[in-house]
Structure 1
Amino acid sequence: MSPFNITFLVTIFLSLFFPTLGKVDPTLSRPKSQTLSYIESSCNGTLYRELCIRSLSKFASTNEIDGPQHLAHVALSISLARAIHTKNFLVGVSNNNNNNNDRKKRREYQTIQDCVNQLSDSVDQLSQSIKELRRMNNKSRSTINDDFLWHINNVETWVSTALTDASSCVYAFPGHRMSKRTASIRGKAMNVAQVTSNALAFIHKYMEAATRNTKP
């Protein structure tokens, strides 16, 4: 799947799960350059800053990134899109490798199968997280109460689990003497882990901002 198609898939997720994100009052929208500055500043708190800026900047002109809440939504949607893409890629590789009788290839096949299962779990966890954020988005939160904390803790737990699953897939492959295909698989899984790590950082930022801006 090309970067364009991944971006298109993210846009679909945003429209399905958060239909109000694209309906920003034109009088309140800010210039693209200002949104890019906000993205760059926000990415400073992530482990993979350059990847963070590169993946989020595609949405700088869509009025979907105007605060910690929207930032978390978009980052999670990017993570989900990458996880789906990588899982589907691995399924294709696995199907092509299924009937190979070579012992080394069979071991590789089993490792790929394990990764498919791990990334399937990541997709499920990220999907749950996005749905939970939507539930929070549909509720009025003039105060940070137990209900809000319960929802945001669910999101943090699920995204953390998705990150663990994606990282397990990365570590299943050696970091040296890899075939071109194995290196490609590991690279794609690592990308999922990194964008998920960034998304988790934005979940933390969202919670901090919501707590800070709570009315007494």
Structure 2
Amino acid sequence: MAQKLILPSLVIFLSLFLESSLAKHNSQTLTYIESSCNGTLYPKLCIRCLNKYSNSIINGPQHLAQVALSVSLSRALQTRGYLLNVAKELKAIDHKNKRMYLTVQDCVNQINDSVDQLSQAIKELKRLNNFNTIINDKVLWHISNVETWVSTALTDASSCVQSFPGHRMSKRLATIKVKAKNVAEVTSNALALFHSYASSYKQAAARTTKKP
């Protein structure tokens, strides 16, 4: 009888232990995300976008930057899809307002460029995994590539936002502006998180260069 009670008790104990350990890990990951996001221009948005990954293992600043870039790419893809549909509708039904169609089409091109650049940046960041803690010119070159692509993606998304100045506009154009603005803001946050990761390499490289 005692042996029959031991197994259920052990299962309950292990379950409670695992739940406690997972909760502790989630709390630590969320704290790390929040402290990292405090260095971005839009910390609340940063935390909101990344806190759903608190159940996962975030292996330091490089992994966090990679997750942030993935979020940015996802938002850019969603926005591009919306813009393509709007441009298609405008081209089909709104022949009188060619200027609006051209503005939206320019936005499509800009966000499409952002998608390409963010995709390249993510691939380049993954290549850095091969170097671990090695510091050399090749690592710095990969870092520079990521910074360039993400900065350009941010510029393109911001250009789309600026295509719709003022506050008096149709609901559709207001929605485009909000979506493009969101892409720009999450990309800005991803760039800040990547800068935070890259700064440790740059500082180490500078110290290495100064050595006699």
When the two structures are superposed, what TM-score results if normalisation uses the length of structure 1? 0.81
- Superposed CA RMSD in Å reads 2.2
SS of the equivalent of 2:131 reads coil
Match of 1:78 in 2: 71
Match of 1:52 in 2: 46
Match of 1:109 in 2: 101
Match of 1:129 in 2: 121
Would the aligned equivalents of 1:100 and 1:106 in 2 still touch at CA under 8 Å? no
Match of 1:183 in 2: 174
Q: Deviations over 1:1-51 (max 9, x none)?
A: xxxxxxxxxxxxxxxxxxxxxxxxxx9x96101111111100111000110
TM-fit CA distance, 1:176: 1.2
Paired letter, 1:146: D
Would the aligned equivalents of 1:84 and 1:123 in 2 still touch at CA under 8 Å? yes
- In 1: Cα distance, 2:146 partner to 2:81 partner: 24
Q: Deviations over 1:94-147 (max 9, x none)?
A: 1111033554x321111110000001100000000001011111x134331100
TM-fit CA distance, 1:67: 1.0
- In 1: Cα distance, 2:134 partner to 2:59 partner: 21
- In 1: Cα distance, 2:124 partner to 2:154 partner: 17
| 1:97 matched to 2:90 | yes
Gaps of 5+ in 1: 1-26
- In 2: Cα distance, 1:50 partner to 1:142 partner: 31
- CA distance change for structure 1 residues 69 and 101 in 2, over 3 Å: closer, same or farther? closer
Would the aligned equivalents of 1:68 and 1:209 in 2 still touch at CA under 8 Å? no
Alignment length (residue pairs): 187
**How many percent identity over aligned positions?**
60
